[in-house]
Amino acid sequence: MKTHILISLVFTGAFIAPFTYAEEPANATTQKEERRANVEERVTQLKEKLSLTDDQAAKIKGIFQSDEGKLKELRADTALSQEDRRAKIQEVRNRQRELVAAVLTPEQQTKWKEEADKRRSASAED
């Protein structure tokens, strides 16, 4: 009898365990906080890799933040085909690149391009 109870408890625990981990933690960040963290992370990485000044970092952060709403709207727009959505998102990203490049010195632009080329070649290998 004890064996049957023990087996039942093991199977019940194995069945319930995946569902308990699927719940969001009580202190989960909101999507807005995650996007803000993503912008902060991107700016921090650029600052480290390109030796940005505080002024440059602030300008670049503003560029990224100003496009957050546009990108969110595009991603949520179900009226657009996937191809159109990708094209419009690419337009926003291209504009971002132009604005960021305008903030960088020629040396930083060269290094930024090299880093982008490395990422592209690494993702192409995957």
**Where are the domains positioned within the chain?**
29-125
The band of 46, judged by pLDDT with boundaries at 50, 70 and 90, is very high
Give me the mean pLDDT over the 118-126 stretch: 81
Look up the pTM and report it: 0.64
Give the burial string for 50-72 (b: 16+ CB within 10 Å, else e). bebeeebbebbbebbeebeeebe
pLDDT value for 22: 46
**Residues comprising the chain, all counted:** 126
Instruction: State how far the alpha carbon of 112 is from the alpha carbons of 36, 76, 106, 108, in Å.
Output: 22, 30, 10, 6
Using the predicted structure, report yes or no on whether residue 101 has a pLDDT greater than 90. Answer: yes
Instruction: Return the top range by mean pLDDT from 10-14, 30-34, 37-41, 113-117.
Output: 113-117
Residue 46: name the closest of 90, 98, 100, 96 by CA: 100
